[in-house]
Amino acid sequence: MGHKIAVYGASGLTGRFVVAELEKRGFTPMPFGRAQATADDAQALDRALVGAAAVINTAGPFAVTALPLISAAERAGIPYVDVAAEIEANADTFARGASIPVVPAMAFFGGLGDLLVTAALGDWTSADSAHVAYGLSGWQPTAGTLTAGAVSRERRGGQRVRFRDGELQYHSDTPPASEWEFPSGPREVIGEFSMADIVTIPSHLPIPSVTSYMSASAAQGLSDAADRAEPETFEVDVRVRRGDEERRMTVAGRDIYAVSAPLAVEAVERLLTNRFKVTGVASAGAMFDARDFLDALSQHLKTAA
């Protein structure tokens, strides 16, 4: 294939996974980071993108990097993909719009849930609610994850956020605890553990309530962050409800950071081979054929029936 793909933040954990995935697929990575171009240096960003066919942004906080990189991609006339999990940063990207194909949150959080909900919806044109449950065996967040989370919390004044009645709602009550029946068995989960799904899914699907859930053990790991050791295993179980009907789709795999790389690189490959639906900002489920996209990642994501 031979296309040169710029990777911003290539020295970080997700960035290294992305570079390896690009090389595996025959692309030529063009790694760069803040040492070559800070987000506020438009000329340096432009120089870094010379010769690139697309750019993947893996450098958070995306509240700082996303919009400047999108602007640089527009000037270069190339597609932009990022792996942002920050709710507010993704909302900013959708609000901005773009003259090029832009896919935010093309990662484990945001993109994957959106693809699963879109595929599960099938021929339904709407639903009453969507539920995305993350059954992680644990969570060992990177320094970048923690920094991005801190930026998001600061932007919303320490409040939590949920998507209800067709809008983002900010509140301070205690998140509800419950039990979720995953294909592998029941797990204790924390409800309204909002991830980027509450931005990506409503961006194109008429679903007025989107709720995400996190296994309690993983949520505890996030608060007790330690050095990353054995990668976590995961199940992502989505349920879409309309009246008394429910549709469900589940995938399982290993390492939430590693799996973000094939998600992002598959998106770039499809953008460069004209297998996409929208020129402008669109989530994974709106930009691509969701079921076909998931099928293409069967090596990394196994359907858990």
251 neighbors 119 (Cβ within 8 angstroms): no
Domain 4-107+258-303: give its CATH architecture: 3-Layer(aba) Sandwich (3.40)
Amino acid at residue number 237: D
Dist. CA 173–CA 134, nearest whole Å: 21
User: Are 4-107+258-303 and 109-254 the same fold in CATH?
Assistant: no
Average pLDDT over all residues of the chain: 94
Dist. CA 94–CA 45, nearest whole Å: 21
Q: Does CATH number 3.90.79.10 belong to domain 109-254?
A: no
pLDDT digits (tens, 9 = 90+) for 86-129: 999 999 999 999 999 999 999 999 999 999 999 999 999 999 99
Q: Where are the domains of the chain?
A: 4-107+258-303, 109-254
Dist. CA 11–CA 297, nearest whole Å: 24
Task: Report the pLDDT value the prediction gives residue 143, as an integer from 0 to 100.
Answer: 79
pLDDT digits (tens, 9 = 90+) for 43-88: 999 999 999 999 999 998 999 999 999 999 999 999 999 999 999 9
pLDDT digits (tens, 9 = 90+) for 235-276: 999 999 999 999 999 999 999 999 999 999 999 999 999 999
Dist. CA 201–CA 206, nearest whole Å: 9
Dist. CA 101–CA 80, nearest whole Å: 6
* pTM (predicted TM-score): 0.95
Angle at 64 between CA 62 and CA 226, to 5 degrees: 55
pLDDT over 70 percentage in the chain:
96
Give the lowest-confidence range in 140-149, 176-185, 206-215, 296-305.
140-149
Three-class SS of residue 225? coil
Quick one: average pLDDT of 168-190?
Answer: 94
| Residue 99, token pair as written in the block | 């003259």
